[in-house]
């Protein structure tokens, strides 16, 4: 089936512990997305510079497998929670879609490494 990996999966490891009157938690997430077929054809006909048709390899036929790793460290005290996170920690840049046209080429990937801090309250 097109655009569907044979294998994909998620796993996480979390560890929570008291830190004085505060509860702390560390978490790591791992996501795997297997390779997938984008097109059944392994080649296609294109027009060469001399105007003649030629058979070229379909470089967009298969999207390679990729993995993502996310980290999170959070503290919770009473009604407040703060988290320091790093998504796509390894800054993986897989090409997950590719769209060549006559005038330009587009390639799509996942969000780059994102590091941040969030604070929220629970009422």
> What's the CA gap between 23 and 15, in Å, rounded?
11
CA atoms 88, 67, 7, 96: torsion sign: positive
> What's the CA gap between 120 and 11, in Å, rounded?
26
pLDDT category, 87, cuts 50, 70, 90? very high
Q: Any bridge partners for residue 81, and if so which?
A: 76, 120
> What's the CA gap between 68 and 109, in Å, rounded?
12
CA-angle at 72, arms to 66 and 74, nearest 5°: 165
Q: Pick 106 or 78 by higher pLDDT.
A: 78
> What's the CA gap between 97 and 60, in Å, rounded?
8
Looking at residues 90-113, what average pLDDT do you find? 83
Percent of the chain at pLDDT > 90 equals: 58
Which residue in the block uniquely carries the two structure tokens 């655009």? 3
What SS3 class is residue 61? coil
């Amino acid at each position: 089936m097109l655009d569907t990996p044979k294998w994909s999966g998620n796993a996480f490891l979390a560890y929570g512990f008291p830190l004085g009157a505060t509860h702390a938690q560390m978490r790591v997430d791992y996501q795997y997305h297997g390779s997938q077929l984008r097109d059944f054809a392994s080649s296609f006909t294109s027009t060469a510079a001399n105007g003649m048709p030629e058979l070229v390899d379909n470089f967009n036929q298969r999207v390679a497998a990729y993995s993502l790793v996310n980290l999170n460290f959070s503290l919770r005290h009473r009604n407040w929670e703060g988290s320091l996170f790093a998504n796509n920690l390894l800054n993986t840049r897989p090409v997950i879609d590719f769209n060549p046209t006559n005038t330009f080429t587009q390639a799509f990937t996942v969000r780059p490494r994102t590091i941040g801090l969030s604070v929220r309250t629970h009422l």
